[in-house]
Amino acid sequence: MSTEPVALLADEDELIDGQYRDRPQLRPILDAVLAALPELGAVTVQARSTLVSLVTPRRTFDVVQATTKSRVDLGLRLEDVQPEGRLLPAKNLGQATMRIPLTGPDEIDDEVLRWLRLAYEQNSAPAPPPKPAARPAKAIGSMTVVIEGTELPGRTCAPERDGVVRRDVHVALMTRDKDRASLVIPGNPFRATEPAPADSSAVRWEAAVTVRPGENGYDFGGPYVRGARDDRHLGLTWGELPGDGTMRTFRGAKLRLIDIPPGLIAEAMSPGNRLVGRVRLTDPRGNPVCARLHPPYLTWSAEPAQ
């Protein structure tokens, strides 16, 4: 990591001093982030009253904010990236989509620098010209998908590095179907249907998925399907229920339909059959599973409808 400092204008330096005046022990975290910038390329540092924005020649790719007196949030503007490990959803961090909480400069390790470089690269490249929307192929049928979840983590957990304890945790299937009983997810076009307490012995959801021809097998659609064509998946979401008709989500998991062998899809679509996904819902640390799921946490099979 480069140790060359980034030069700041006097006004910017004063703004930053104000951000860390009552939390000087956190200033070395910002300094360590700034020291890493020369290796990325051209970066402009823009100080505000509450945060520091880092800008490529194209647009902002990162913000640094002393969120509490014991934590700095490194906010990253990342596309097509889901929360995983230390990478958490960003809230109230400008245009950042993800954040990494930091409590000391030694936490800016190779993993953090990789995410920082990815954010820089994604926001430096020229925006691709818009492509005309491809007309979806004609549907060849509908498939019933059953999701059966076991080994749930419990109603209380603390999956994040900042130590926030989640209580009254539930898990739900995501959908755009407003006719099915569901809860609103603030800021998300999808809703949380049939939320189940995370201390249940088992959970189950059923969804209809439209199947079309795809480039390498099948493509999928319908109100339960999320993602671009190369990332079609069903989504599970974890959250707390404040009792106001919403679900305050903090973590999600992908069950990728696009990964299923075409032969298994064809078998599941045959009369009297269905596709069954069995999910282990607790990760090795005892927290809710998240991000893209793989075996042994997710297995698919074609089975007769009961």
| pLDDT for 8 | 54
| pLDDT for 203 | 98
| pLDDT for 215 | 79
| pLDDT for 133 | 62
Token digits for 250? 């903090």
| Contact by Cβ (8 Å): 230, 258 | yes
- Short-list 278, 279, 274, 277, CA closest to 303: 274
Label the pairing between strands 273-280 and 298-304: antiparallel
Q: What is the DSSP letter of 246?
A: B
Give the C-alpha separation, 306 to 303, whole Å. 9
Q: Residues for the chain: how many in total?
A: 306
Burial 179-205 (b: 16+ CB within 10 A, else e): eeebbebeeeebbbbbbbebebeebeb
**SS percent in the chain: helix, strand, coil, step 5:** 20, 35, 45
Instruction: Indicate the burial class of 152 (C-beta count within 10 angstroms; 0-12, 13-18, 19 or more).
Output: buried
| Contact by Cβ (8 Å): 58, 70 | no
- Tens digit of each residue's pLDDT (9 = 90 or more) over 170-209: 999 999 998 899 999 998 999 999 999 999 999 999 999 9
Label the pairing between strands 248-256 and 291-292: parallel
Q: Is the dihedral of CA 59, 61, 67, 69 positive or negative?
A: negative
**Could you tell me the pTM of the whole model?**
0.59
| pLDDT for 4 | 46
27-36 vs 110-122: helix crossing angle, rounded to 10 = 60
Instruction: Encode the chain (306 residues) as per-residue pLDDT tens digits.
Output: 344 445 455 467 888 999 999 999 999 999 999 999 999 999 999 998 899 999 999 999 999 999 999 999 999 999 989 898 899 999 888 889 999 999 999 999 999 999 999 999 999 988 777 777 667 678 899 999 999 999 999 999 887 776 788 999 999 999 999 889 999 999 899 999 999 999 999 999 999 999 999 877 899 999 999 999 899 999 999 999 999 999 999 999 999 999 999 999 999 999 999 999 999 999 988 999 999 999 999 999 999 987
Q: What is the DSSP letter of 35?
A: H
